[in-house]
Amino acid sequence: MCDGTHRGTAVTPLKVVLDEPQTVVWCACGESRNAPFCDGTHASLE
């Protein structure tokens, strides 16, 4: 689902392959230690 808007920035996209249908929570804050999945780190950011 990459639209290319990261071009020209320091953001590096990750390719994720899911072998079976599953529910995932994507990290939107960019601070997860389990990228690209959310690990709840956003709750401790100021």
pLDDT tens-digit profile of 5-41?
Answer: 999 999 888 889 999 999 999 998 989 999 899 999 9
pLDDT the model gives residue 41? 94
pLDDT the model gives residue 43? 93
Q: What is the DSSP string of 1-46?
A: ---STTTTSS--------SS-----B-SSS--TTTTB--SGGGG--
pTM listed for this prediction = 0.66
